[in-house]
Amino acid sequence: CTPDGRCLTVAGGSQGAGDAELYSPYDVAISSGGDIFVVDTQNHRIQRWGYKDTAGVTVAGGDGELSFPSSASLDEGRR
């Protein structure tokens, strides 16, 4: 939440593997542009949520490439 009390919920309500669901979110990284990257540990993926998105986009994992990821960091200088 921001200092003035504004909060944003990007996922929740039920656990699962859908684009708007998470299963054991473990870490979060926020880009300078405001995108939120969520480490979705039990789904073995990293989800990106943009401003006003109603669903996340898998940017890593989800296909066996990650095994129980536990942290995220961004290198915004590298494109």
pLDDT of residue 52: 81
pTM of the model: 0.81
**Rounded to whole angstroms, how far apart are CA atoms 15 and 78?**
33
For residue 44, the Cα-to-chain-centroid distance in whole angstroms is: 11
pLDDT tens for 12-38 read 667 899 998 999 999 999 998 889 999
Query: Across the chain, what does the average pLDDT equal?
Result: 87
Q: Going by C-beta distance under 8 Å and a sequence separation of 6 or more, which residues neighbour residue 43? A: 17, 22, 23, 24, 61, 62
